[in-house]
Amino acid sequence: VFTFKSGASGKLPPATAREHLKNGALLVDVRTVAEYSAKHLTNAVNIPLDQVQQELPRRVTDKSKVVLLHCRSGRRSGIAEQELRTLGYTNVFNIGSFGQAEAIVNGAR
């Protein structure tokens, strides 16, 4: 079972992340455009880390909407989570690496 560190909110269990996705959470891949183009998860939106503070508020005006972030290793998505919390987003979660996000999306434990 994966556990994910998430800023102010503690850990988000994979089952909870899956439930959020079923209920319309936005899945955001913060890797580069090239990384995203090479391989990405179905339904993931690509907003590279260096654009997340400008782009996400344009796409998501409701700061309470659940946003699940991932990258290659979990480091950049952790940075993105902190940046978005600073902007006032209350339900942003770093779900970790591409592999961890893929396991969540595909329903693996």
> For every one of its 109 residues, what pLDDT tens digit does the chain have, with 9 covering 90 and above?
344 444 444 579 999 999 999 999 999 999 999 999 999 999 999 999 999 999 999 999 999 999 999 999 999 999 999 999 999 999 999 999 999 999 999 986 5
**How far, in Å, CA of 39 to CA of 20, rounded?**
23
E-strand ranges in 1-109 read 5-6, 10-11, 26-29, 45-46, 67-70, 92-94
Q: Is the pTM of this model over 0.85?
A: yes
Please say whether the beta carbons of 37 and 30 come within 8 A: no
- 11: Cβ contacts below 8 Å, ≥ 6 apart: 3, 4, 5
Rg (C-alpha) for the chain, rounded Å, is: 12
